[in-house]
Amino acid sequence: MHTRTLGQGLQVSAIGLGAMGMSMSYGPNPGTREDMIAVLRGAVDRGVTFFDTAEVYGPYVNEELVGEALAPLRDQVVVATKFGWNIQDGAMAGLDSRPEQIRRVAEASLQRLRTDRIDLFYQHRVDPAVPIEDVAGVVGELVQEGKVAHFGLSEAGASTIRRAHAVFPVTAVQSEYSLWTRDPETEVLPTLAELGIGFVPFSPLGKGFLTGTVSPSTTFAEGDIRRTIPRFTEDNRAANQRVVDEVRTLAEAKGATPGQVALAWLLAQQPWIVPIPGTRRLERVAENAAATTVPLTADELASLDALAREVGVQGDRYDDAGMRMVGR
């Protein structure tokens, strides 16, 4: 596995692992807790050093899972988690990035992760009720105290990124980015390039769509978040199928999988981009990691880029409430 450098010199594997789906969002987990611990530890064996979780995943249980799995390997890995939600009775009850709340979350996350430091601490969503300068300031204090190593933002707009970075250096910004989600290209990616901040795409495989395993006839299980996402209605899946078909054709020609081509395209965009595909299966971890060895020529990259722009994508990536929380 190659390594890449995000902002502030943070080195991580070129492909990370998003752990959210092990605890929520994609329907019943076919594996046991022990199975998921084996996947997380097996990922380290395959060169993955960058792991992503959040207090709200579960809530709380995903951090506990990641903490238990990686405790014996702590010095070999970089663990990212997130703050910014008001969690009441096991559910999200709005945003909360008040400085005192950030400190409470940090202490609780340290306990659940079984560690004395959070390597990368993201604000999960921008809280319009709290100035981003205050957020950056308190994370900076946590860094000075040794409880946090790096500061990150998730789904933030360019102006917010600049304001935060002026108070305390931002190491990474995390947002959805893939062949069929191009929103960050207009303002966010140029801002990160200018400021020397890394970019961490989540859902780099389009929540499974770009792997070719989702079709217009797919039925999603109860509890699968894709049942609520406009982009995954049957009509929109049919309209978006052409992108997957073209990716599959290229993958077959290269002896790769569609998912590997989609990840290779992302890796080719910038050397400071580190995707974090999620999975609950070790064979998928190995497949995703091998995307770093899939070479795409300039012509192939241009063809994929042109295809994605020509076809576009039908359907928003969140419901209305979710869309109002991004790009602030």
Catalytic residue among 26, 57, 122, 177: 57
Lowest mean pLDDT among 9-13, 140-144, 179-183, 185-189: 179-183
The structure tokens listed for 20 are 């959210």
pTM for this prediction: 0.97
What does the DSSP assignment read for 93-160? EEE---HHHHHHHHHHHHHHTTSS-BSEEEESS--TTS-HHHHHHHHHHHHHTTSBS-EEEES--HHH
Q: How far apart are CA 35 and CA 102, in angstroms?
A: 32
pLDDT in tens, 117-168: 999 999 999 999 999 999 999 999 999 999 999 999 999 999 999 999 999 9
3-state DSSP call for residue 308? helix
Of the candidates 119, 111, 116, 43, the residue with the CA atom closest to the CA atom of residue 276? 43
Q: How far apart are CA 191 and CA 170, in angstroms?
A: 12
Q: How far apart are CA 155 and CA 163, in angstroms?
A: 15
pLDDT in tens, 12-52: 999 999 999 999 999 999 999 999 999 999 999 999 999 99
Question: Phi first, then psi: what are they for 53, rounded to 5°?
Answer: -145, -170
Residue 312 is predicted with a pLDDT of 85
Q: What confidence tier does 311 reach under pLDDT thresholds 50, 70, 90?
A: confident
Whether 318 sits among the annotated catalytic residues: the reply is no
The identity of residue 65, as a single letter, is L
Of the candidates 150, 157, 104, the residue with the CA atom closest to the CA atom of residue 132? 157
What sign results for the dihedral spanned by CA atoms 114, 120, 283, 76?
negative
